Structure 1
Amino acid sequence: MLDIKWIRENPAALDEALQKRSAEPQAQAILALDETRRSAIQKLQDMQSRRNAASKEIGAAMAQKNTELAEQLKQEVASLKDTMPLVEQEERAAVAALDDVLSRIPNIPLDDVPVGKDESDNVVTRVVGQKPGWNHPALEHFEIGEALGYMDFDRAAKLSGSRFTVLTSQLARLERALGQFMLDLHTREHGYTEVSSPLMVRDEAMYGTGQLPKFSEDLFRTTDGRWLIPTAEVTLTNLVSGEILDQEKLPLRFTALTPSFRSEAGSAGRDTRGMLRQHQFWKCELVSITDAESSIAEHERMTACAEEVLKRLGLHFRTITLCTGDMGFGARKTYDLEVWLPGQDTYREISSCSVCGDFQARRMNSRYRSKDDKNPKFVHTLNGSGTAVGRCLIAVLENYLNEDGSVSIPDVLLPYMGGLTRIEKGA
């Protein structure tokens, strides 16, 4: 959520930022709501002050035995008491209206973010590795997995419908190995603390990281009103909601390997074959909580941590700086890691690392205090995939495919595969 004080002082800057995001201007509408809210608050405060003053005047009038004045003042106080609940209701409605609009305004892009409308305007920042040079034809992951006999979409559909996958035997183990490898790398070498957190959360948690209220259609909800997490970003970031942290303890770095649940409401007809876009998938999430001065450097660090996963797996990828029109709602700047998929003959996103500034912290009321500053400041939050396990599995299958249809295991995963060096067709 943006700072209303900043919007008051910089209405043109807000509209300029929204224009960069291909969004409609909002400053004047927000300022009008803010003025209504401030007027309602002032009206209520004036009535409270007058009620308190009149109550004191009653005592003075009684002391002077001026019963007529005392009676007039009592009637005034009674009238104020009758009217104030209506004014309080007006104030609550004005506050709620402003908060609702502010909760739907996206974050302000950093100055160095390229301006553009969609993914065609994203900028390649760096390219790592090379495309595999083969003499045999490339295949898509679902062709490889089904031929091996360990990837079953029909049985998944029988159980749950479309956009689900059943993995068995060696592919199930490979999926597990990828997740274990990512966790070990980030905790042992990158300094992240492993967290096992809930998969269901309350409204407040989803609001804190920006999924609610704007993106409810992309989420799954339980019968008791909780939400299935679309990413562990929700739980890891909200670990510090409502807290005031010591600056000396920052940054905090968390990682978790969890299932993620997404309704994919806005992607009808996209990636319906295979397991690229699923309702349920595993992801290794990275979250950092920093002070205001460190967040930009932490963004570069987090992205490097995610890149290291792909480097050690020997996968060719490129890192993209997203343009203003393609960034997520809460991001100020985002790097996407796009891995090369030979079967599709294209790059596909496998990780997205974003710096959010204090946007989420304001929603969560998460702050920090330094030794020299009595007033706490809002923390800065960052999140990234380190990486999406299912898409990483796809990349390994397509990039390590052998001519005979088997799939070699990347060296870094061998310790997790129980002596298996390649995945071969089941008997």
Structure 2
Amino acid sequence: MKFALVGVGGAGGRVVDALRKVEANSDRAFTNDQALVFDTTKSAFEGYDHIPVDRHVLVGDTHPDIRGEGLDGNLELGAEVAAEDTDEIYREFDKLATHSVHATVLVAGLGGGTGAGVGPVILEGLKSITDSPVYVLGILPADSESDQQAYNAARSLQSYVDLADNVILFDNEEWCDGDDLDAQYPALNIELVTRIIAVLGVGELENAPIAETMLDPSDTMKALESGGVSTLGYATTELDRPDSLLGKLLNLLRSTEEEPEVTDAAKIKELIQATVNSKLTLPCDVSSAERAMLSLSGPSDVCSRKGFETGRYWLEEETGTVQVWAGDEPHDATLIAASVLLSNVTEVPRIDELQERAVAYKREHLEDETAESTDEPPSEELAPPEATAESPDTDADASEATADAESSDTADDGEPSDSVADSEQTVGTEEQIPDSE
């Protein structure tokens, strides 16, 4: 599948840059050179080596409270600034040839003021200019990050789920090792990028052999069509294949004898099981997934078809759904890789934890302000910031960008779906994070 990339904020920009780097240095083309990055911090653009300068967009550079220096985690200010700059943001969309790709992927760190506040406004704009799916790749903050970041993530996630066709999440807490998160960002980005390419970039290898069972873009979109929150799994196994001429000749001679495959059916099944049983990008109850997609990549002569089909059946049993799309991607490699997409997972303890932390932050830091502005007892519930601006020509007050977006529909990887309430989609908790007054 080919997809345009739109990065928002520092985390989103770094991931987009990493994806573009992989594309530039490999034989897998998946973006058709369609990329944009938005930020409120001017210096952030200096770290991008694979995104053209004309695709860097500074938001709020004339705003007296920002002027290119960032939002310092202020989600409400980010939504306000994005609403004021809607005309400029929409003009930048003209640089994206969305007709040349199958979908658009917005990438954002949900804990930052830009990713949480500006991102939903940009997402709504993208939805207005294309009929193809718009997905979100969101990064959740770790426990070592501030309570404000947890608050931002919990609020913005609701807006993203309401607006996007699907939200794929990566949990920093699951993947970081220790408290020095900044030093681990490059390694975490590699893990995330590897999985995104394995799932969304499947089928985009140049000069690849014809697959026995091919996954095409429509399969990916069907798998993501459930909307809601999704997670990715990935596992590999190394091949012990001699590269020398003698070794190849010996393998050729052995192939005429009745010997076991290099990777037999049991090993392929174990590899597929590892995609789910090892770390997912977002930990969840696998049985709560509504749909799934499985891909097996590697040399066709060592990938057991029986093992692949057995693994697919096992995945159906684990998820409790027959809506599992599966295919192989044959190519010459020194390893076999399996990847899985679990779509619309509804049992996600990590999201519940972030919601609880966000509510506690609201009680501790925002109740006094709420009580003074309403003269009523403060609510323990918080609503998401408004993920939308009215239109490029809106005259509405910019502060409306933090209003609730309850009426927004959630869609999947290609076609609109019912609202979160109607389709039983969830972001992991029934306790909402209300808007600050």
Common fold by TM > 0.5:
no
Structure with the bigger percentage of strand: 1
With structure 2 as the length reference, what TM-score do the two structures score? Answer: 0.23
